[in-house]
Chains A and B, each alone.
Chain A
Amino acid sequence: MAAPLTLLLLVAVTVRAALFRSSLSELISERVEVVSPLTAWKRVIEGLALLDLGVSPYSGDVFHETPLTIYLFHFLVDYAEVTFMLADVITAVALYMAVKDYNKQVFRKQKFALEADRYPLDCLELIRSPKEMYYIPLKVAMFYLLNPFTILSCVAKSTCGLNNAIIALFILSTIKGNVLLSAIFLSLATYQSIYPLTLCAPALLYLMQRQYIPVNFRRASFWWFIVQYAFMYLGSLFVIICLSFFLLGSWDYLPSVYGFILSVPDLTPNIGLFWYFFAEMFEHFRLFFLCVFQINVFFYTIPLSIKLKEHPVFLIFMQLAVISIFKSYPTVGDISLYMAFLPVWSHLHRFLRNIFLVSCVLLACSALFPVLWHLWIYAGSANSNFYYAITLLFNVAQILLVSDYFYAFLRREHHLTYGLYLKRKDGSEATLVLK
């Protein structure tokens, strides 16, 4: 499998290099769908220029990257293109290896369940075979590297690519079962943007499952493991934050980075829900709705963890999707990360209900975003409502996609427990509803 992967990597790097050299790269790096005030490359350059002028980059309101990013690009600013291509390659390879390992475990669990006769007889067609699962890791890498969203994000040199790489490495280390590395990468991801904190729960569930620790509140081993993980996580977070302090000698970056993410002062349009909402918010309610929207991102962690405690990898997928949709400054780079997981659930296709509608809406919205932006900003013949409407539609489509996959997953689990062809009391074919 190494050869197809290498070929894929070469193709991806070629496409990106070609676009870097073309005149489109300037255009793409200005698009608001691809870059946000948090991730724009122009602002990284501005921060480095301010540093050269002797002014702290955090004294103004233009630069919102973390100090470690400044440190990284201080040395790598001339090799920025290579850095971002490398980040994409690392993400793809990490996801490839993670999904391969995960497939092995899925298959092993399935084998034990089959031998223990836990599946009803008529749902054997839902059982997955190694043959169908063979190409899934390659498809995952392909979905990530050749996704137009990812390519746009890389060519724009948006630092979202670096964030995705860190999250992918976190997923790889979690699935491989390495507790320390998982904690370190998670703290790095949280340090970059606060929202990956919610990935703590699936990581804990997966690692406990792997180490055969029962997920039970009354067991001491459960709490002991949580304490260990939390210690490693908080310790590495503390080390990283102190390093950032010593880099520039001040705590200015805390309000500039984290205060900015949480309080959303910059209302530059993007594909998310926050900008227009807070542009039109009554001053009196601003703080209230800000808290509501920020809590909304973290709110689904506990209920989802309870429902999906046997399936932590699906939980990671759900959490990544929730973060990408509801975070304060989303970009298409965030979307491409959770979309890379879709081939892993390709066996659910028979239970998906809205997939055609959702894919049509997503394609249409992706095409309409630049059109309506141009009409608003350059032609002056549309106004902000048009762009806002497409934002709403795009987010509704993403929500439908995620909830559709969740429905299909739960339904398959139900069938695996109760059988595929269900009959009603009078013997006719049954319909399943959620009650």
Chain B
Amino acid sequence: SLEELVIRPLHSGDIYTSFQFRTLWETDFTRENKVSHYRLFPKSLGQVISKFSVRELHISFTQGYWRTMQWGQPYLPSPPGAELWVWFQDSLTDVDGTWKELTNVLSGIFCASLNFIDSTNTVQPSASFKPLGIGNVTDHQIVCTENLTPWKKLLPCGSKAGLAVLLKSEKLFHSSFHSQAVHIRPVCKDDQCKTTSWELRQTLNVVFDLHNSGQGKNEWSLFKMFSRTLTEACPVASSSKIYIDITDNSQGEQFELSPATPLLSQAVVLGDRRTFSVYDLTQQITFGTICNVLKLPVTYSAHAGDMLRPLLHAERYVAGYGLQTGEIHTLMYNNHPYRSFPVLLLDSVPWYLRLYIHTLTVTSKGKDNKPSYIHYQPSKDRVRPHLLEMLVQLPPNSVTEVTLQFERALLKWTEYTPDPNHGFYVGSSVISSLVPSIVAMDTNNSRERPLFSSFFPSKEESSYFVRVYTEPLLVNLPTPDFSMPYNVICLTCTVVAVGYGSLYNLLTRSFQIEEPSPGLAKRIANIIRKMRGVPPL
């Protein structure tokens, strides 16, 4: 297995650390024999793959929102909250039932409430996520230590040796952005792809806030960030490295590393050629001296203008006022100076925001920009959400705005969350694109490369795959009065009864002349006379 830690100082002064752990499992499910030889691959996940005929699985838990404009592109994008994408084998027939069982099992493995995933927030996109699979985004899962511990348990060395020793929850969760993910997919062992093996990747991306944890000083060390030090390498790891991104520090003017290391490596990551200082943990000599202090000068953030602007960037917000209607605006920025490229926008909106597709407008630079492909699946109340996929060509150096009107529905009183005035979350929209690259991408997949640069394989040299997630939206719905069910039933039934009563009286009674009733004395006298047999008064 391989493990890596990449540390990248960001222009805003924050530190971006990314852990990647990879385990390969040589086995072949297509032969239908019972597999029990797991070696380093976690048994729980292996059983999940074989029982549910899973071909690919991606699950991520994220807290916080990735600020693309300040931090650049992440190595692995993930939306806020929890997201689960699964591709099933072609031989699977009952997809819906398997999906439900799978979400329940995964919520047990990861101690996360994934069992709230049901048909009302699951979509099957046709193009955005290839190969065709079932996906789901649920939002606002607060990622906490219960999610980290089961994630750590899946690592081959657990949290006892190697880089996983640094994963201590207090420091990790005290950060601006925290995302842990598990990706399982089959990979080819060689160029001809005659045999496949299963690859399990676990990634943990954290962005530490300078002001929050730096205590004012401008020195970072592994101990200060994680409050742990590395003790020994993981014995089962074939490679265990720490990469520090020193591209912006070529002359040593921004920061200096201590202890310095002669090992340097270059890799093309996200369309950019970056230089890294490498510390190899499998070599014994590094451990003696690894206090690993980065000294950062105070004026660091003033040079933020040199950062490479991300070529693709997106924002989303809700416009409108009142609780009846609203508009979703998605802004997509193409920052490339002269190239335009197409993006695939995937939007999954819950059913209680009724979208009106005839109000969809896409404008770039003030002019109408008609999407070349639209796939829209309208929602069915309480069954499935809206699914909108569009292929939009973004002109160079422009902002494209997509607007869509919706109407807010009144739900049954039992369908509201316990705090209904907080609002309802709408999942992030996903924008996927092949962005033109300035630096030639490496298309040779079989060569050994650092993990963080090889997640999305590049098919061609001039572009790389980018996926951007927008912010989740918080939308208020009109609420009924929750204290009133009995009162409402009584009052409405009263009105119906008024109608029934009036019509009943008029239908069953007839007009008669009213004779005044005699006084009490006369009535008693009449009763006595009747008993005597004498005619009444």
Contacts and interface: CB of A to CB of B under 8 A. Distances in A.
A50 to B, nearest CB: 7
Interface string A97-108: 000000000000
Interface string A280-295: 1111000001000100
Interface of A: 30, 42, 45-46, 48-50, 53, 55, 59-62, 265-269, 273, 275-283, 289, 293, 296, 300, 303-304, 306-307, 325-326, 376-378, 380, 383-385, 388, 392, 395-396, 399-400, 403, 406-407, 410-411, 414, 422, 424-425, 430-435
A49 B485 contact: no
Given A269-B410, A273-B492, A392-B495, A30 B356 contact: no
B496 A296 contact: yes
Contacts of A432: 511-514
A50 B379 CA distance: 12
Contact of B488 (A61, A268, A280, A303): A280
Nearest to B325: A30
A326 B506 CA distance: 19
Q: Which of B321, B356, B496 has the most CB of A within 10 A?
A: B496
Contacts of A385: 481, 484
22 contacts: A46-B357, A48-B358, A49-B358, A60-B377, A61-B378, A273-B492, A273-B496, A277-B489, A277-B492, A280-B481, A289-B489, A296-B496, A296-B500, A300-B503, A307-B507, A383-B479, A392-B495, A403-B502, A403-B506, A410-B511, A414-B510, A431-B513
Interface in B362-421: 374, 376-382, 386, 409-414
Contact of A281 (B380, B412, B510): B412
Contacts of A50: 357, 376, 378
Interface in B411-455: 411-414
Interface in B479-497: 479-481, 484-485, 488-489, 491-492, 495-496
Interface of B: 321-325, 351, 354, 356-358, 374, 376-382, 386, 409-414, 478-481, 484-485, 488-489, 491-492, 495-496, 498-500, 502-503, 505-507, 509-516
A383 B503 contact: no
A434 B513 contact: no
Contacts of A414: 510-511
Nearest to B513: A430
A46 B515 CA distance: 65
B509 A435 contact: yes
Contacts of A60: 377-380, 386
Contacts of B351: 61
Nearest to A285: B489
A434 B511 contact: yes
Contact of B485 (A46, A281, A303, A430): A281
B488 A277 contact: yes
Given A410-B511, A432-B512, A278 B358 contact: no
B506 A433 contact: no
Given A61-B380, A385-B484, 18 more contacts: A62-B356, A266-B381, A266-B409, A277-B492, A278-B412, A279-B413, A281-B489, A296-B500, A307-B506, A307-B507, A377-B322, A384-B481, A385-B481, A396-B498, A410-B506, A410-B511, A414-B510, A424-B513
Contacts of B502: 399-400, 403, 406
Nearest to B512: A435
Given A49-B358, A400-B502, A268 B492 contact: no
Contacts of B480: 276, 279-280, 384
A407 B506 contact: yes
